[in-house]
Structure 1
Amino acid sequence: MNEIEKGEGIKRTHIKNPLMRESLMGKHLQDQMSPVKELALLPGASVVGVGGRSIMDRGRAAVMPLCEEIVKAKENFNMILGVSGGTRMRHVFSIGMDLGLPTGGLAQIAGAVEEQNASLLQAVLSKDGGVQMCREHFPEMPKYIAAGILPIIICMPPYHFWEEPADKGRIPMNGPDLGLYLTAEVLGVDRLIFVKDKKGLFTDDPDKNPKAEFIPEITAAEALKMDLPEYILERKVFEALALARHVKEIQVIDGLVPSNLSAALAGEHVGTIIRSA
């Protein structure tokens, strides 16, 4: 039982613990706390991010082959699928900015667009155990996985009205790529794979610059230091990855290439691997 240190007069009453009388914003606090290994909630699982614009917006030609591969891979791998909003998210951002919505207002409406893509993905995968999962049911994730269910979630982190102002413009800096990374990190999964329509990270957008060079492997710090004109993932992902506790590497693959996802789930290097250090 915890000991109570009762204050007299105007003195505070404390429950004895290492943080007693400490300001949680004190600079020295984290250095004083002994490191404790964080608990991995879903070790053995993999989080797979299905790109909105890169995969979902391409329709049947891209979605159906990928879903067939997901169903086959489900026999050997426990997966959680995340899906982003794609072109429709850009459309709603455009309208929102035209109407004068602040950054927090744009973040609030972004998730609703992703819900549509999650519903589409669930419909295609429903006969094979695909179930759209709202955030309120996240604590039940282990039960879903154990039952052979394929959870489908949205990626946009729920900062909503509390989204921090953007460095430039009003587009939320904490976007779907970061949201999926944070989901994987808090669950402590084995792998995080972003399924895009390009081989991985390049020195520039290869669609715009044919001289762009492919980067097969890099650390988060190295990628940020390069200050590339365009990244295949949000910059916030690289910043978060540098502070990783569980998910210390991610892989970006081309989901339009058959068997790439299965290979990545098995630990093969088929795209760009980005490491925390």
Structure 2
Amino acid sequence: MALVREKDGKRLHVKSNLMGESLVSKEFIDQLDIAPQERLYPDVKLMKIGGQSICDRGAKALPQVLKEIVRNRADHKMVLTTGGGTRSRHIYTIGLEMGMPTGVIAKFGSMVSEQNALMIATLLSPWGGVQISHSDIVKLPTYFAENIIPVMHGMPPYDYFAIKPKVGRIPIHRTDVGLVILADLVGSKTVLFIKDENGLYTEDPKKNPDAAFIAEIGAQDLLDNGQDDLVIERPCLEIIQNSEVLDKVQIVNGLVPGNITRALNGEHVGTFIYKQ
């Protein structure tokens, strides 16, 4: 690219469409010509193992979920992420009572999610489970060539730079959001939330057993519904809607034997939330 100096002779630019732009002009961004986003690893299956729903149940739930994942190891390239669960809620409560800012509370949540990632990687170590960091994503082809199951903590790496929500100080970008951001990054076609519920309901089925099950719904429709309680974090829906490569995410009850296998094979198990 050619170098161009401004008329006043003070600044030197690389000649491009972005030359001299502030990147805050809405009109400019709308008109910017960009190539379609590449799907880096479309065949990689991304799964988040719920913290409160699976990990916190310990021996009553986690081993059977991991055994089913291991049974699928030969047929699928899988990356696991982890939630924080009850311990993250505990430290959030203490942090709020002590007046901690959102960034510190987010850091607390990252530490708990990382504990669960270490536990799961250790349990999977006989079958190639390895804990990885966010910066190791570019090494995925190497891991799969060595039959490794990468396990990564699910909290987005904002930590101290977490965005304060409009109300309160609990970070809105937590481990569900981390999975969807990762899916958008790698262009995965299979994104599974492994939880202890059959999927999305009109209300929390643990609180209202008469809540109606929703087999599939568009992300924008779900946003517009204004539903008080959701099975995944609300910002996930906006990320799905804005994504160039995400088609859908799937919520699966991992406590039902065979559900994870069916979902990995593309069957409609649980709830699909799709981009509209």
Task: Give me the whole-angstrom Cα distance separating, in 2, the residues matched to 1:146 and 1:19.
Answer: 39
Between 1:158-167 and 1:109-118, the stretch displaced more is 158-167
Structure 2 partner of 1:168: 167
- The answer on 1:115 being equivalent to 2:103 is no
* Secondary structure at the counterpart of residue 59 of structure 1: helix
* Secondary structure at the counterpart of residue 207 of structure 1: coil
Structure 1 partner of 2:46: 47
Task: Give me the whole-angstrom Cα distance separating, in 2, the residues matched to 1:123 and 1:160.
Answer: 24
Aligned-pair CA distance for 1:88: 0.5
Letter paired with 1:140 = K
Contact persistence 1:249–1:273 (CA under 8 A):
yes
- The answer on 1:230 being equivalent to 2:229 is yes
Aligned-pair CA distance for 1:148: 1.6
Aligned-pair CA distance for 1:168: 1.5
Contact persistence 2:189–2:247 (CA under 8 A):
no
Task: Give me the whole-angstrom Cα distance separating, in 1, the residues matched to 2:5 and 2:226.
Answer: 55
Aligned-pair CA distance for 1:237: 0.5
* Secondary structure at the counterpart of residue 242 of structure 1: helix
Structure 1 partner of 2:256: 257
Q: TM-score, normalised to structure 1's length?
A: 0.96
Alignment of 1:71-90 (within 5 A): 71-90=70-89
Task: Give me the whole-angstrom Cα distance separating, in 2, the residues matched to 1:215 and 1:32.
Answer: 38
Deviations 1:4-35 (A, max 9, x none): 11346444211111111222111122222224
Between 1:138-147 and 1:111-120, the stretch displaced more is 138-147
Aligned-pair CA distance for 1:124: 1.1
User: How many residues are aligned here?
Assistant: 276
Q: TM-score, normalised to structure 2's length?
A: 0.97
Letter paired with 1:203 = T
Deviations 1:64-112 (A, max 9, x none): 1111110011110100000111000011111111111011110122111
Alignment of 1:152-231 (within 5 A): 152-231=151-230
Task: Give me the whole-angstrom Cα distance separating, in 2, the residues matched to 1:66 and 1:59.
Answer: 11
Task: Give me the whole-angstrom Cα distance separating, in 1, the residues matched to 2:236 and 2:8.
Answer: 49
Q: Structure 1 unaligned runs (5+)?
A: none
Structure 1 partner of 2:15: 16
Letter paired with 1:84 = G
Q: Structure 2 unaligned runs (5+)?
A: none
- The answer on 1:247 being equivalent to 2:253 is no
Q: Percent identity?
A: 38
* Secondary structure at the counterpart of residue 242 of structure 2: coil
Structure 1 partner of 2:92: 93
Structure 1 partner of 2:128: 129
* Secondary structure at the counterpart of residue 119 of structure 1: helix
Contact persistence 1:191–1:247 (CA under 8 A):
no
Aligned-pair CA distance for 1:138: 2.3
Letter paired with 2:65 = L
Aligned-pair CA distance for 1:119: 1.1
Task: Give me the whole-angstrom Cα distance separating, in 2, the residues matched to 1:152 and 1:58.
Answer: 19
Between 1:121-130 and 1:30-39, the stretch displaced more is 30-39
Deviations 1:234-275 (A, max 9, x none): 100011111111122000010000010110011100100000
Task: Give me the whole-angstrom Cα distance separating, in 2, the residues matched to 1:38 and 1:51.
Answer: 29
